[in-house]
Amino acid sequence: MSLTLVSADFDAGGSIPAIHTCDGTDTSPALSWSGAPPGTKSFALIVDDPDAPDPAAPQMTWVHWVLYNIPVSAASLPASIRGTDLPPGTRTGLNDWKKNAYGGPCPPTGRHRYVHKLYALDVVLPDLGNPTKTDLEKAMQGHVLMQGELIGTYQKK
């Protein structure tokens, strides 16, 4: 059994459409998942770019989206979802633009990888305020039942 994360907007390893980037409307792609293990109480989602600022010489991982307490009853997030439309109970964290929202690919140079990581958790986490990726990862320690991953790429025009 595995936690599978897919997008109707791009194939695994494929190019993320420009509409979901700073070259377009900067809206989130559609995501859906299946295969959550028994005992899953919530999901968390982290989207980041391990190739920042230059894939030829990466220096940091840039965080694009942080979500947690996605209800176990949810199996997808539609494209272009806004914070107010997230499944009930879902909480947002801070991306590296210091916003509680999706921030799409906007690489300064080269083709970057964007790693979408979905975590099945055995708890509903307490309110973490405005957690960063690091804060969320710390809160999830010991509670991750399974992880699914989807990688898309993008290079600015």
Assess if residue 28 is contained within a domain: yes
Q: Show the domain range for 71.
A: 4-35+47-126
Would 12 be classed as within a structural domain?
A: yes
**Residues 56-94: pLDDT tens digits?**
999 999 999 999 999 999 999 999 999 999 999 999 999
Question: Residue 57: which CATH number?
Answer: 3.90.280.10
**CA separation for the pair 96, 63 (Å, rounded):** 5
Res 15: pLDDT: 98
Q: Does 96 map to a domain?
A: yes
Name the domain count of the chain.
Answer: 1
Query: For position 1, what pLDDT does the model report?
Result: 73
The residues that bridge with 144 in the sheet, in sequence order, are: 121
pLDDT tens digit string along 107-149? 999 999 999 999 999 999 999 999 999 999 999 999 999 999 9
Instruction: Determine the pLDDT at residue 134.
Output: 98
> Would 26 be classed as within a structural domain?
yes
Q: Distance between CA atoms of 41 and 122, rounded to whole angstroms? A: 5
Q: Is residue 146 part of a domain?
A: no
Q: What is the C-alpha separation between 133 and 5, in angstroms, rounded?
A: 19
What is the pLDDT, as a whole number, of residue 138?
98
Q: Is residue 82 part of a domain?
A: yes
Residue 15 lies in a domain: yes
| Residue 137 is assigned to a structural domain of this protein | no
Range list of β-strands (E), 29-123: 31-34, 42-52, 60-71, 76-77, 91-92, 112-121
Instruction: Say yes or no to pLDDT of 156 above 80.
Output: yes
| Runs of H (alpha helix) within the chain | 133-140
Residue linked to tokens 């809160």? 139
What is the pLDDT at residue 157? Answer: 80
Q: What share of the chain is helix, strand, coil (3-state, %, to 5)?
A: 10, 35, 55
pLDDT of residue 95: 98
pLDDT value of residue 114: 98
Average pLDDT, the chain: 97
Residue 136, helix vs strand vs coil: helix
